[in-house]
Structure 1
Amino acid sequence: MDFKIVSEYSPTGDQPQAIKELSAGINSGDKFQTLLGVTGSGKTFTVANVIQEVQRPTLILSHNKTLAAQLYGEFKQFFPNNAVEYFVSYYDYYQPEAYIPTSGTYIEKDLSINDEIEKLRLSTTSSLLSGRRDVLVVASVSCLYGIGNPEEFNNSIIEISVGTVIPRNQFLHMLVSSLYSRTTAEFKRGNFRVKGDTVDVFPAYADIYYRLHFWGDEIERIESWDPDTNERIELFEHLRLFPANIFVTGKDKLNQAIHQIQDDLMDQIQFFKNEQRPLEAKRLQERTEFDLEMIRELGYCSGIENYSRYLDGRKPGTRPFCLLDYFPEDFLMVIDESHVTVPQVRAMYGGDRSRKENLVEYGFRLPAAMDNRPLKFEEFEMLQNQVLYVSATPAEYEMEKTGGVYTEQLIRPTGLLDPRIEIRPSEGQVDDLMEEINKRAEIDERVLVTTLTKRMAEELTKYLTRHGVRCRYIHSDVDTLERVEIMRDLRLGIFDVLIGVNLLREGLDFPEVSLVAIMDADKEGFLRSERSLVQTIGRAARNVNGLAIMYADKITDSMRKTIDETERRRETQEAYNKAHGIEPKALKKSVDSVLAGSRVAKSTVMDEVERIDFSEKPIQYDTKEDLQKAIDDTRKRMEKAAKALDFIEAARLRDIMMELESKRSTVKG
């Protein structure tokens, strides 16, 4: 099947030219291209049209799980009949395994809501190895972490047809080799069960299960069933069952890996004993032997990725297999917000290594865990085929790769212009800002304010609050869950002003924001560079009244370049609007769409009042039965949120559930 866009819109403005240029470049073999598209110009729609033109399996790489979720939702809508997949790490939402020596704290890997993420990951690898060409994967940078060998994964695919002659027990052994578990109790993903002449298999990557009817040693019928309604869906002539775990390994390789793990374990235990560190030796022995027992019994264990070097048969220091190895050679990589994503990829290896060093040093993991790592930057570059960088402000790296050439997209389908820029003196800036905020609050518009430091953000928030301004601040110390809630509350008008440092720059869709205020705009540096200023100003570009105020006592080079570039863009946009009789119109989003904004796919939005009540009311539980009911209800809601791919809400509910569970000992009866 080919990629085919389903949309009521067709390319407008300078989108057709951008699509034509980029598609021609890909088809003629250009290795690197850059799309410089202003905020709100429809870069995602342009990329979708390029994918439709070139018909290549595509990886969309995002630096941020929230943006990846938004992109996944958009591409799902553009390509409803194609394989659009979502690949993120558990660690995008959950605490990875770590050890903090200063406090002696070991933090276990938290995978309490991993079922849906695992399904999505396996669905991705299964689609890529299915032979389909119409596969588009939206991934966070965690796709550059090690996963299983694609060759082993491919070898473990089970192919059967109606009429296939295969002894039932042989088929069951094949399922076990592909890491499916037999069950007589709860039937869930990754399980199979046997009833008389039928075998039910629940793929780890699907929401349906398959029922195989045997007549002696012959497969007589293959059906798909809905696990919720227990109704038959359809009949199949052929079926491909993909493995139940990304880290699948053939029996011979598994036995070799077990022997190698045992040898390395003995060496490391001896090392700790020689160092007079019996605690670390004992800890490592207990943990590793437990994992080995699980691997012997099931073929995998929790944290199997830490043994991936053994399972793959790799030498120490060699790069792990990652999602890029599952793509065909001619795939297209699209790096979204490349000016942020590329530096993030560059920094991944170092950050992962420092965390792993502590785990190895204190006997929580074998040294081989160091080889379960993300790609080094040069390894990432080697695995690229053709790359499209997408950004409103491409960095030097992208421009160097494309020889300074880029495709420009300045026209917004809404006719909106880049915001006007005003420079005002820093003396009296807070009072001036307050006056501007009040003007906008009266007409139900929002304001973003960017400061240089977290301290300044907090102090400004306190000052404005004392003067009756409804405002909040946001910076890197604010956790993910709270950040999403703050963004949502701003859009809903629960407060009017959001104050931040560096988190306001890219990828945030705020049509309600009509003013961006930049404090200390003349303090040249990273946060006040031309790239940062252009991105920050772009936050007001989705509003017909968009204005950016720079508070400064002098005009720096970065400010001058930003002003000149913005003026050039406004002239181009105004000329286009005049030539085509376009009147700029504001974007309006319903409350429902705002509430659904943090969700990945279409899902029922929970009642907002219920959500706030549930999280904020201190409830007293008279009996253990009442408490258990609350825990069970929260678990159901957590699982429902995870199933809807709203992992942020699921993690919030998980925290509530854990808090409830901690109260067990205090409740009588």
Structure 2
Amino acid sequence: MAGQLYSEFKEFFPDNAVEYFVSYYDYYQPEAYVPQTDTFIEKDASINDEIDKLRHSATSSLFERNDVIIIASVSCIYGLGSPEEYKEMVVSLRVGMEKERNQLLRDLVDVQYERNDIDFKRGTFRVRGDVVEIFPASRDERCIRIEFFGDEIDRIREVDALTGEVLSDREHVAIFPASHFVTREEKMKVAIKNIEKELQEQLEKMREAGKLLEAQRLEQRTNYDLEMMREMGFCSGIENYSRHLTLRPPGSTPYTLLDFFPEDFLLVVDESHVTIPQIRGMYNGDQARKQVLVDHGFRLPSALDNRPLKFDEFEDHIHQIVHVSATPGPYELEKASDVIEQIIRPTGLLDPNIEVRPIEGQIDDLIGELQDRIAKNERVLITTLTKKMSEDLTNYLKEIGIKVQYLHSEIKTLERIEIIRDLRLGKFDVLVGINLLREGLDIPEVSLVTILDADKEGFLRSERSLIQTIGRAARNANGHVIMYANRITNSMEIAISETNRRRSIQEAYNEKHGITPQTIQKEVRGAIRATIVAEDTESYDQAPAFDKMTGKEKQKVIQEMEEEMKEAAKALNFERAAELRDLLLELKAEG
């Protein structure tokens, strides 16, 4: 959803800084300890370089421009470095400025840039005599060339990082830090002293409680981190010491992306009925995992302060907020000073017609409807109640020659984007799902939405769920919804009544202004580069012995296992994720 919004806003605001800030992990398994089996699992992560670049671009834009729009996921409430420190450590360079070349090199190292004269990439710099080339962390194609004449900056140029072609001359350039966790040397010394003090206090408590093994473990791990910080200025897992590095008191609110904005910024919460509960729940899940690490000597108690915002802290950051939802929850309605209905669409499109048909013979009836829509080159969404029903229906439709796909919870977000794109392109005509077809799907080609077992009252057939599902057919001039039910439940009645109310207002407006509804003409865009995913692969469990496979087959197996590993980590099944990670290392070594 964030990727779709980012692409659209880039088109709506071509001259403004439209940025993207989501979690940069392709795969993230946090540190975890399982006391029952005495199993410690190290943090393991795969960072998406493209998304990391976009995150740096977002934060640097906030300091350089006023016309900034950032599309962010809920990861924006996770801990980030101090914005003041980040801004203060910017390396500002101007033509004619007196500065020694070696001093510039030291400044770049201080802001986490690495010297690399061979592999020139983001976050590095290289030196050739009196010329220093810097590859900013927020770029992927252009670098900055600084030319010295003695101890003076003679020329600043923007050049193509690959070809070396000069693109433009610059009078000034600001080099933002290559990490959001940057700390000045004097502050680092204070932080190290505070960490040492906390370590001694925690060791005393553990030894008094008879936790000798835990105390030894904590002492060894923390001293190693401290040595790395003294020598290198950082260590693995440095974010766990973020409270000390920013000199914050215990329990204080961590810095997040929200702190990088000016005070008068506007926050728009899309699909707020889903996003707000997500934000509420993030703190508790994070604390439960970290408390186990602290209790067993893997981390200092201050690691608990490297966390997402609590909900009340999130509210304190926000001064202007707009909740956007077709079905706002009690929180949004209670907090809103004004509730504005968006009923009239610029295209004149109406909310869909709704029809209720009996459950008996629903599949045969459904097939007839599918064939009618496919003949018109239109698409169909089918929502069922259970995974088994979705699978069985998908298999049956495939057997009778209908091009169909099944969208289920095990499919990753990025792969989901590709499936929806393929539906729009006509690679298949019908998409079957359970709860994943409610919000966030903007598919103008869909003219029919069918809801099986609509009268089974519950979460998936509540008035809110039904209204969201009905809305998926509101992008097409021929939008139609069929509910298969033997009775009309209270939720169905409310959803149908609300849809009819909106439709009557839209019809009256169109008639008054002579508007003919027109299906949205929307280009099928490619996913942003960071979200391109591979094709589906067969389960590696059913594959032949690895050593007898072709290179292509081996790659498929490895890809499938990586997907399962990521899913296991996401589900907090750390032992399974670690097991798969180790197996993957073996397979890659063999291959």
TM range, smaller chain: 0.7 to 0.9
Q: How does 1:574-653 map to 2 (within 5 A)?
A: 574-587=507-520, 593=524, 596=526, 598-599=527-528
The correspondence for 1:340, drawn from 263, 270, 274, is 274
The correspondence for 1:313, drawn from 247, 251, 276, is 247
CA RMSD across the alignment: 3.5
1:89 matched residue in structure 2 = 23
Q: Cα deviation per residue 1:104-149 (whole Å; 9 max; x = unaligned)?
A: 665554443432222222222211122x211111111101111111
The correspondence for 1:375, drawn from 299, 309, 315, is 309
- Greater relative contact order (CA < 8 Å, ≥ 6 in sequence): 1
Report if the CA contact (8 A) 2:269-2:322 is conserved: yes
1:162 matched residue in structure 2 = 95
Q: For residue 511 of structure 1, what is the amino acid of its counterpart?
A: P
- For residues 421 and 544 of structure 2, the distance between their equivalents in structure 1, rounded to whole angstroms, comes to 25
The correspondence for 2:58, drawn from 124, 129, 133, is 124
Q: How does 1:346-425 map to 2 (within 5 A)?
A: 346-403=280-337, 405-425=338-358
Report if the CA contact (8 A) 2:198-2:300 is conserved: yes
Report if the CA contact (8 A) 1:627-1:664 is conserved: no
- For residues 361 and 474 of structure 1, the distance between their equivalents in structure 2, rounded to whole angstroms, comes to 41
Q: How does 1:130-209 map to 2 (within 5 A)?
A: 130=64, 132-207=65-140, 208-209=142-143
Shift in Å, 1:389: 1.6
CA spacing shift, 1:251–1:518, aligned 2, 3 Å = same
Report if the CA contact (8 A) 2:28-2:46 is conserved: no
Q: Counterpart of 1:407 in 2: which secondary structure?
A: coil
1:253 matched residue in structure 2 = 187
- For residues 8 and 134 of structure 2, the distance between their equivalents in structure 1, rounded to whole angstroms, comes to 32
2:564 matched residue in structure 1 = none
- For residues 316 and 519 of structure 2, the distance between their equivalents in structure 1, rounded to whole angstroms, comes to 44
Report if the CA contact (8 A) 2:24-2:49 is conserved: no
Q: Counterpart of 2:491 in 1: which secondary structure?
A: helix
Report if the CA contact (8 A) 1:144-1:322 is conserved: yes
Kindly indicate whether residue 500 of structure 2 is the aligned counterpart of residue 567 of structure 1.
Answer: yes
- For residues 482 and 86 of structure 1, the distance between their equivalents in structure 2, rounded to whole angstroms, comes to 19
Kindly indicate whether residue 163 of structure 2 is the aligned counterpart of residue 234 of structure 1.
Answer: no
Report if the CA contact (8 A) 1:73-1:600 is conserved: no
1:479 matched residue in structure 2 = 412
Percent of aligned positions that are identical:
55
Q: Counterpart of 1:95 in 2: which secondary structure?
A: strand
- For residues 73 and 482 of structure 1, the distance between their equivalents in structure 2, rounded to whole angstroms, comes to 17
- For residues 588 and 66 of structure 2, the distance between their equivalents in structure 1, rounded to whole angstroms, comes to 52
Q: For residue 138 of structure 1, what is the amino acid of its counterpart?
A: I
Q: Cα deviation per residue 1:615-641 (whole Å; 9 max; x = unaligned)?
A: 99x999999xx979x99xx99xxxxxx
- For residues 244 and 614 of structure 1, the distance between their equivalents in structure 2, rounded to whole angstroms, comes to 40
Q: For residue 453 of structure 1, what is the amino acid of its counterpart?
A: T
Shift in Å, 1:157: 1.5
Report if the CA contact (8 A) 2:383-2:432 is conserved: yes
Report if the CA contact (8 A) 1:426-1:551 is conserved: yes
Q: Cα deviation per residue 1:567-616 (whole Å; 9 max; x = unaligned)?
A: 122122222332333332334556xx26x1x3269x9x89x9xx679999
Q: For residue 164 of structure 1, what is the amino acid of its counterpart?
A: M
Q: How high is the TM-score relative to the length of structure 2?
A: 0.85
- For residues 619 and 426 of structure 1, the distance between their equivalents in structure 2, rounded to whole angstroms, comes to 44
CA spacing shift, 1:204–1:332, aligned 2, 3 Å = same
- For residues 448 and 39 of structure 2, the distance between their equivalents in structure 1, rounded to whole angstroms, comes to 45
CA spacing shift, 1:494–1:133, aligned 2, 3 Å = closer
- For residues 657 and 375 of structure 1, the distance between their equivalents in structure 2, rounded to whole angstroms, comes to 30
CA spacing shift, 1:290–1:221, aligned 2, 3 Å = same
The correspondence for 2:452, drawn from 519, 530, 543, is 519
Aligned pairs, how many?
566
Shift in Å, 1:395: 2.1
Q: How does 1:214-229 map to 2 (within 5 A)?
A: 214-229=148-163
CA spacing shift, 1:483–1:104, aligned 2, 3 Å = farther
Q: Counterpart of 1:543 in 2: which secondary structure?
A: coil
- For residues 77 and 249 of structure 1, the distance between their equivalents in structure 2, rounded to whole angstroms, comes to 37
Report if the CA contact (8 A) 1:316-1:368 is conserved: yes
Report if the CA contact (8 A) 1:72-1:600 is conserved: no
Report if the CA contact (8 A) 1:90-1:111 is conserved: no
Report if the CA contact (8 A) 2:466-2:492 is conserved: yes
- For residues 186 and 600 of structure 1, the distance between their equivalents in structure 2, rounded to whole angstroms, comes to 22
2:467 matched residue in structure 1 = 534
CA spacing shift, 1:460–1:125, aligned 2, 3 Å = same
- For residues 114 and 175 of structure 1, the distance between their equivalents in structure 2, rounded to whole angstroms, comes to 23
Q: Counterpart of 1:408 in 2: which secondary structure?
A: coil
Report if the CA contact (8 A) 1:157-1:240 is conserved: yes
1:49 matched residue in structure 2 = none
1:301 matched residue in structure 2 = 235
Q: Counterpart of 1:313 in 2: which secondary structure?
A: coil
Q: For residue 240 of structure 1, what is the amino acid of its counterpart?
A: A
CA spacing shift, 1:388–1:426, aligned 2, 3 Å = same
Q: For residue 6 of structure 2, what is the amino acid of its counterpart?
A: Y
Q: Counterpart of 2:28 in 1: which secondary structure?
A: coil
- For residues 262 and 534 of structure 1, the distance between their equivalents in structure 2, rounded to whole angstroms, comes to 56
- For residues 222 and 276 of structure 1, the distance between their equivalents in structure 2, rounded to whole angstroms, comes to 62
Structure 1: give runs of 5+ residues left out of the alignment: 1-66, 636-655
Report if the CA contact (8 A) 2:50-2:529 is conserved: no
Report if the CA contact (8 A) 2:252-2:305 is conserved: yes
Q: How high is the TM-score relative to the length of structure 1?
A: 0.76
Shift in Å, 1:218: 1.8
- For residues 619 and 509 of structure 1, the distance between their equivalents in structure 2, rounded to whole angstroms, comes to 40
Q: Counterpart of 1:129 in 2: which secondary structure?
A: helix
Shift in Å, 1:399: 1.8
- For residues 531 and 449 of structure 1, the distance between their equivalents in structure 2, rounded to whole angstroms, comes to 17
Q: Cα deviation per residue 1:243-281 (whole Å; 9 max; x = unaligned)?
A: 221111121211111222233334445555566666655
2:489 matched residue in structure 1 = 556
Kindly indicate whether residue 430 of structure 2 is the aligned counterpart of residue 497 of structure 1.
Answer: yes
Q: Counterpart of 2:60 in 1: which secondary structure?
A: helix
Q: Counterpart of 2:318 in 1: which secondary structure?
A: coil
Structure 2: give runs of 5+ residues left out of the alignment: 560-579
Q: Cα deviation per residue 1:361-386 (whole Å; 9 max; x = unaligned)?
A: 44443322211111111111111111
More deviation, 455-464/324-333: 455-464
